[in-house]
């Protein structure tokens, strides 16, 4: 009875998978969609030149660059489902999305650089995303600070701040001193 229940549950998924493969073949020209065995991926070789590192960076950056339509969420969902279904597996190649993406073991693009159907590959991509977002925020904040600094430097009638504008740090009000109150006269 258990096997018939499993067959009943997987039959719609098999039909849906077959439909996705048919769409990939007809609409996108995907022809290599064989299941990949663990350890059988032909990953891109490690970069040896600066240009290769830049190309790798750009490929990863394109993958993690989107916000709402970011494919990282799909891979996260797949990894969670695979981990729940079989916690002993360290990979998630047994699904139609991996079949269509991994090009029968010869992946292209981001999939040749990072194995996103494993937790380690996904975590590496996510760490890249976090570092990238922090770097972009720091650069943006630096730019805004520079604009305000130049504006203040060339302004003739504006103070840096008034006492109480900035929360006291260690009980010291940064704006309650002669430097912050200085106004250049024209």
DSSP 35: P
DSSP 103: G
* Of the candidates 166, 167, 149, the residue with the CA atom closest to the CA atom of residue 158: 149
pTM of the prediction? 0.67
Q: Average pLDDT, stretch 32-45?
A: 80
Radius of gyration of the chain (CA): 27
Phi and psi, residue 131, nearest 5°: -65, -40
pLDDT (0 to 100) of residue 123: 93
Residue 16 has pLDDT above 90, yes or no: no
pLDDT (0 to 100) of residue 1: 42
pLDDT (0 to 100) of residue 179: 67
Higher pLDDT, 7 or 60: 60
Cβ atoms of residues 102 and 121 within 8 Å: no
List pLDDT tens digits, range 73-128: 888 888 998 888 888 888 888 888 888 888 888 888 888 998 889 999 999 988 88
Average pLDDT, the chain: 79
- Contacts for 178-185 with beta carbons within 8 Å, 24 or more apart? 183/156, 183/157, 183/158, 183/159, 184/155, 184/156, 184/157, 185/156
Is residue 53 very low, low, confident or very high in pLDDT (cuts 50, 70, 90)?
confident
């Amino acid at each position: 009875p258990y096997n018939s229940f499993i067959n009943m549950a997987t039959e719609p998924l098999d039909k849906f998978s077959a439909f996705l493969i048919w769409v990939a073949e007809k609409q996108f020209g995907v022809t290599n969609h064989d299941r990949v065995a663990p350890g059988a991926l032909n990953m891109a070789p490690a970069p040896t030149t600066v240009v290769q590192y830049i190309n790798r960076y750009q490929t990863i950056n394109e993958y993690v660059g989107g916000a709402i339509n970011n494919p990282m969420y799909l891979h996260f969902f797949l990894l969670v489902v695979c981990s729940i279904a079989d916690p002993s597996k360290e990979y998630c190649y047994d699904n139609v999305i991996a079949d269509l993406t991994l090009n029968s073991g010869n992946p292209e693009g981001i999939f040749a650089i990072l194995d996103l159907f494993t937790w380690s590959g996904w975590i590496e991509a996510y760490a890249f995303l976090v570092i990238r977002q922090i770097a972009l925020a720091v650069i943006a904040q630096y730019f805004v600070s520079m604009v305000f600094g130049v504006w203040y430097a060339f302004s003739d009638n504006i103070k840096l701040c008034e006492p109480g504008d900035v929360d006291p740090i260690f009980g010291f009000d940064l704006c309650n001193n002669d430097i912050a109150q200085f106004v250049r006269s024209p």
